[in-house]
Amino acid sequence: MTAYSLRARLLALWVLLLTSAAATAYLMYGVYNQSTGVQVAQAEVAVARACRAIIDRYAALVRNRGARTAEGDLADVVEGALGGFGGVEGGIWSASDGSIAYAYPTYEGTGPKTDLPAAERETIAAVNAEALRVDHAVPQRRPSRTQVLLLQGCPLHGPEPGLTAWTMGRVRVNDGPTYTRFLAGLGFLAATVLGSAAFLGWFLYGFSGRIARLEAALATQPDGEDLPRLAPTGERELDRLVDALNAAGGRLRDARARIVATERLATAGRLAASIAHEIRNPIAAMRLKAENALASGDSNRAALALEAMLGQIARVDTLLRDLLNLTQARPLHRTPTAIAPLLAECARLHEDLATARNVRIETVSDGLPESDHPHIDRAQVARALDNLLLNALQHTPAGGRVRLGAARDTVDGTLRLRLRVSDTGPGVDPAIRPSLFEPFVTGRPDGTGLGLAIVREIALAHRGTTGLVDNAPETTFCLDLPWRPS
C-alpha cells in the first residue's frame, strides 16, 4: 500500500480547494445566466401580451366608432393597453406615416414619456414592416452587453390599411441588483478561496522548509555517530517531534556507552581464558628450568636457567602491558595534529628494526592541507601506527618495503583521515583473516595477538574504523578516522 507524505496530502488539498472554487464560480455563473434567461423569457411574454392588449383595444375602438378614429383615440388605446405592463412601451405604426401613436405609461422618469426612442426607430420600423408582410406577430430579441432589447410587431385589422401595433421592453443582464449580488458573491468566493490558498501555500512552504532543515541536520550525521541535537523549528507539532528525537538521542548515547562498557567486560572475560593459557606456558617453562638447575647443582646450568626465566618473564610482561593497553579505557585528548611530522616520527622510531631486517620505510603525505589539520588524539594514533608498523616489519622479508601514507577523503560530505600501512610481505593467512582484529589472533608463533586488537580499539574510540584493504596490490591496513569530531 502506497504511503503518501503529509506534504503531498496538503498539496492535494490545495489543488482540490482551487478546483472546487473554479467549479463553484462556474456554477454561480450558470445560475446567474439561468436567472437572467428566466427574466428575459418573462419579459418576452409580457411584451407579447402587451401587443395583444393593443390589438384587443383597437378592435373594440373600431367596433364602437367604425372608420371615425383619430390619433388621440389611438393614443388612448395604446396607453390603456400598456398601463398594466410595467417597463413596456409601445404604439401604433403606419406603413405610410410611421408612428401615429406612442405611450409609455409606466415610465419612471420626471414626467410622462411621449416621444419615440430615436435609437430604436429603425428597428421598430423593420419589425412592423415584417409583421405587416407576414400578417402575424413577429418577435425580435436584440442582446447587448448590459441589456436585452425585446420587440414585437402585431398587424392591426381595421378600416384603415397598413397599421401595426408594436411593443418594446428591456431586460438588464449585467446591471441591476441581480448582477450586483452575483458580483458580490463571486468576489467573496474569490477572496476567501484565494486567501485560503495563499495561507495553505504559505503553510506548505514553511512546513516544507522546516522538514528540509531537519532532514539536512540528520543527513549530515555520519554513520555510527550519535544523533545530533536538533534546534527547535518554531512549529509546535514539529517541536514535539524534535524534543522526542533529542530525548531518543540522549537515550541512544547512554545505551551506546553501556554497550561499549558491556563489550569491554565481555572482551575481558574472553581474554581471561586466553591469558591463563598464555601465562601458564611461560610459568611451566620457568618451573622446569628451576627444578632442573636445583637438581643438577651446576652453577653454569643455574645461570642459564635464570637467563631463560628472565626471557619468559619479559614475555609475560609484554603480554600484560599489551593487555592493559587493550582493556584500559583512556579518554581522548583531541588536538589539531600535523600528520606529516607524526608519520616521520613513527618511521624514525622503527629505523633500527628496519635496518636490522634490511627493510626500508617510506612515508607519503602529499596532498594534505598545510593549514587545516585533523582533530585526533596524537598519542593514541601514534600507538596504533606503531603497532601496524611493527606488524608490517615483522612480516616483510629482507629487501622489502613498508610504506606509511596519509590522505584526506570526502565520504558522503564528511571529511575523513585515511592512514595506510602497506608492506611487500606474503600477506595475511586466509584462515585468520575473518578474526584478524580479535585478541590473541596472530600469524606469528612469537606474537601476542594483541597489536591489531589495540589498533581497532583506538579507531573505535575516535568513532572510526580499521581494516584490511581488499584487492590491494600489497598487504595494506587502513585506519579511517573523522577529520573533525561531530
Q: What local confidence, expressed as pLDDT, does residue 153 receive?
A: 93
Is pTM beyond 0.85 here?
Answer: no
234-237 CB contacts, 8 Å cutoff, 24+ apart: 234/210, 235/206, 235/207, 235/210
The x, y and z cell numbers of residue 81, run together, are: 393597453
Average pLDDT, the chain: 79
**Which CATH architecture is the domain 6-178 placed in?**
2-Layer Sandwich (3.30)
Is the pLDDT higher at 230 or at 385?
385
Name the residue ranges covered by the structural domains of the chain. Answer: 6-178, 223-329, 331-486
Contact 36, 173 (CB under 8 A): yes
Across 47-56, 221-230, 275-284, the highest mean pLDDT is recorded for 47-56
Identify the weakest region by mean pLDDT among 136-140, 201-205, 456-460: 201-205
Report whether pLDDT(301) > 80.
no
Least confident of 77-86, 261-270, 339-348: 261-270
Cα 440 to Cα 278: distance, rounded to the nearest angstrom? 9
**pLDDT-based confidence at residue 274 (cuts at 50, 70, 90):** low
β partners of residue 139: 152
Distance from C-alpha of 295 to C-alpha of 109, rounded to nearest angstrom: 151
What is the spatial distance between Cα 214 and Cα 416, in angstroms, rounded to a whole number?
24
Nearest by Cα to 406 from 414, 396, 416: 416
**Residue 92 or 113, more confident:** 92
Q: Cβ distance 330 to 378 under 8 Å?
A: no
Q: Is the pLDDT of residue 260 over 80?
A: no
When comparing pLDDT for 383 and 229, which is higher?
383
Query: Residue 138 — very low, low, confident or very high, per pLDDT cuts 50/70/90?
Result: very high
Question: What is the band of 91 on the pLDDT scale with cuts at 50, 70, 90?
Answer: very high
> Which residues, in sequence order, are bridge partners of residue 141?
150
Cβ(466)–Cβ(479) below 8 Å:
yes
Residue 73 has pLDDT above 70, yes or no: yes
Under 8 Å between Cβ of 455 and 387? yes
Whether 5 and 207 have beta carbons less than 8 Å apart is answered as no
Given a contact cutoff of 8 angstroms between Cβ atoms, the answer to whether 106 and 81 are in contact is no
Percent of the chain with pLDDT over 70: 78
331-486: CATH superfamily: Histidine kinase-like ATPase, C-terminal domain (3.30.565.10)
Measured CA angle at 39 (ends 57, 185), to 5 deg: 155
Q: How far is CA 180 from CA 176, 177, 330, in A?
A: 6, 5, 84
Residue 283 confidence (pLDDT) above 80: no
| pLDDT greater than 70 at residue 67 | no
Residue 71: pLDDT band with limits 50, 70, 90: low
- The predicted-structure confidence for 388-397, as pLDDT tens digits, reads as follows 888 888 888 9
Q: pLDDT digit string (tens) for 209-252?
A: 777 777 777 766 655 566 677 777 777 767 777 777 778 777 87
CA distance 99 to 261: 115
Q: pLDDT grade, residue 69 (50/70/90)? A: low
What is the residue type of 276?
A
* Residue 166: pLDDT over 90: yes
6 burial via Cβ count (<10 Å: 0-12, 13-18, 19+): exposed
